[in-house]
Structure 1
Amino acid sequence: MATPELLNLGFEFVEIFAFIVLATVGLAVIFGMMGIINLAHGEFILVGAYATSFAVAAGLPLAVAMAVGVVATAAFGLVLERLIIRRLYGRLLDSMVVTWGISLVMIQLTRIAFGNTAPGVGIPFGQLPVVDGPVYYLVLAVVAVGVLGGLYALFMWTDFGVRARATMQDEETARSMGVDTDRMYMATFAIGSGLAGLAGALYAPVMTVTPEYGTSFLVESFVAVVVGGSSVLLGTILASGFLGTVNAAFTNLAGTFMGQVAMLVAAIVAIRLMPDGITGLLSDLREKWGESE
């Protein structure tokens, strides 16, 4: 394979990997840690995109506008958690039905309030000199890795992270040890919402922002969460790498549509062979190795 083709393949992988990570990580926090299947995840992304677009239209710098998008979505998620979601913990099917309803309502309200499109946001940083693509996609990849690193530090190395993980694993024991579990649920949901808003804000410059904007992220995010397994961060990294490689390879060979098809087929095969996801398989292998020793 010639060098330009390798560069294009590498760029394709970086682009898809960043998209899957950023689309997935907010859902992974809410579903993987809290057990809420948030079918309104795409509309949380939509809030971040619309807030960013209107902030840019109001004259704010793009970076500041994206911060506005993240904060607006986190605040929206916080309000929603206090009013509705807090009643759905431990009720998996109910959470699916309710969040699906929220999704439909948000799409229609967005269309009624703002019309069929939001103000456009230009792509910053220009084009790459060798690969046919914008520099901005490399920035998105760096941000994706930074988000994963930041989440790992937050949930593994801080007192908040210890309390949050204890709450999600055994709420009654955590409460008996003095943890305000209600606040932990609220804060964790707000973090997951803010991460969804971050995805919407970051992709507002490269995707047309419409009321259906969030649906563009749903397939990759849910597939990656299921393929990744129960470990939120490691599962997101491994699933994004695996699915991104398959998608990039087939996109490079046969176009975007075949890349999507190949990714879904690979996800189906992975779920069939690994019902508990990649991290579930790794956990089983560690247990077997431990027993053999």
Structure 2
Amino acid sequence: MAGIELLNFGFEFVEVFAFIVLATVGLAVIFGMMGIINLAHGEFILVGAYATTFAFAAGLPLPLAMLTGVVITAVFGLVLERFIIRHLYGRLLDSMVVTWGISLVMIQLVRIAFGNSAPGVGIPFGQLPVVDGPVYYLVLATIAVGVLGGLYALFAWTDFGVRARATMQDEETARSMGVDTDRMYMATFGIGSGLAGFAGALYAPVMTITPEYGTGFLVEAFVAVVVGGSSVIVGTILASGFLGSVNAAFTNLAGTFMGQVAMLVAAIVAIRLMPDGITGLLADWRENRGESR
């Protein structure tokens, strides 16, 4: 019996960890690299989900339908960045108000254009034999780890990553050294938008798709970004692991609702104790350790 409970806890953790990572990475890239608080993040996820379901309904295989959702969302993000977002850099409160307005407009446009629901997509791969859950959640967890690894490689090992990080740390110096910072911002926003669309596409088979679909991702995404701190990759990993563990533990003990409540309470406590997030605490610890030497 204890073994089954442990398996259930492990499965819950994997499910929540994958959800938080995939919901968060697009927002973390845009906020961490550009300082834009994108309150329309959930609607970027919505675009990916709707594009995926309609592409699948049109006859495309599910992987190609998901790729279609990612591409359409990335292009949508690039268009939005060129016409609206680029004028909001360095204007934090303005970016919040504008993206919130974009969110409301998108929800209503989707409802007018497509109604209150989208075509369904069946869950692939079947059920697990022991744990009561789909195999697909394990696939999502594997993809989440792959996305984090890919982002780390992109921003740590490539010329684009060096230029993007230079732009984030000191835009004026980066521009004086020949970096096209305007293009860096555009590309970074496109990547963040595509990642949001990827989350929507991946969860299209397991969640009911309505015009409010994106709001189901928004709370976890913002909580994880704040708890994780300024580091996009490390912060997302640590915050997702911490929040996922709390959620999984309380879900197994008291049900899904209490798991969500416990996760939010843990996030409030973490923010109170670590105002700069987990990675901010780690940075302070490393700095104090260096000084003590």
Q: Structure 1 length as normaliser, TM-score?
A: 1.00
Q: Within 1, Cα distance between the matches of 2:42 and 2:273?
A: 28
Q: Which has the larger displacement, 163-172 or 241-250?
A: 163-172
Q: Aligned residue for 2:5?
A: 5
Q: How much does 1:127 deviate?
A: 0.4
Partner secondary structure for residue 216 of structure 1: helix
**Following superposition of structure 1 onto structure 2, how do residues 151-230 of structure 1 map, counting pairs within 5 Å?**
151-230=151-230
Q: Which residue of structure 1 lines up, in the alignment, with residue 37 of structure 2?
A: 37
4+ residue segments displaced more than 3 Å = none
- Are 2:113 and 1:110 equivalent residues in the alignment? no
2:275 maps to what in 1?
A: 275
Q: What is the DSSP-based 3-state SS (H/G/I as helix, E as strand, rest coil) of the residue aligned with 1:134?
A: coil
For residue 13 of structure 2, give the secondary structure of its aligned residue in structure 1.
helix
> What secondary structure does 2:127 align onto?
coil
Structure 2: distance between partners of 1:169 and 1:116: 43
Q: Distance in 2 between matches of 1:126 and 1:260?
A: 26
Equivalent positions of 1:48-59 (< 5 A) are 48-59=48-59
| Post-superposition CA distance 1:8-51 (Å, at most 9, x none) | 11000000000000000000000111000000000000000000
Aligned partners of 2:202 and 2:125: how far apart in 1? 13
Instruction: Give the unaligned 5+ runs of structure 2.
Output: none
Query: Partners in 1 of 2:96 and 2:141 — Cα distance?
Result: 30
Q: Distance in 1 between matches of 2:254 and 2:289?
A: 41
Shift of residue 169, structure 1, vs aligned partner: 1.0
Structure 2 residue aligned with 1:143: 143
Aligned twin of 2:129: 129
Structure 1, residues 232-266: CA drift from partner, whole Å, max 9, x if none? 10000000000000000000000000000000000
CA distance in 2, matches of 1:5, 1:213: 31
Q: Determine the structure 1 residue equivalent to 2:249.
A: 249
Q: Which amino acid aligns with 1:218?
A: L
- The one-letter code of the counterpart of 2:63 is A
Secondary structure of the structure 2 residue equivalent to 1:197: helix
For each residue in 1:89-129, what CA deviation from the matched residue of structure 2 results, as whole angstroms up to 9, or x when unmatched? Answer: 00000000000000000000000000000100000000001
Structure 1 distance, partners of 2:218, 2:186, is 23
Structure 1 counterpart of 2:84, which letter? Answer: I
**Aligned residue number for residue 27 of structure 2:** 27
Aligned partners of 1:130, 1:180: CA distance in 2, in Å? Answer: 53
SS of aligned partner of 1:68? helix
What's the counterpart of residue 89 of structure 1?
Answer: 89
Q: Deviations over 1:117-147 (max 9, x none)?
A: 0100000000001110000000000000000
Distance 2:179 2:283 in 1: 28
Alignment coverage as a number of residue pairs: 293
Amino acid at match of 1:76: F
Counterpart in 1 of 2:240? 240
Q: Aligned partners of 2:33, 2:188: CA distance in 1, in Å? A: 8
Between the aligned partners of 2:165 and 2:78, the Cα distance in structure 1 is: 19
What is the identity percentage for the equivalent residue pairs of Structure 1 and Structure 2? 89
User: Which amino acid in the other structure matches residue 51 of structure 2?
Assistant: A
Whole-angstrom distance in 2 between the partners of 1:121 and 1:83 = 33
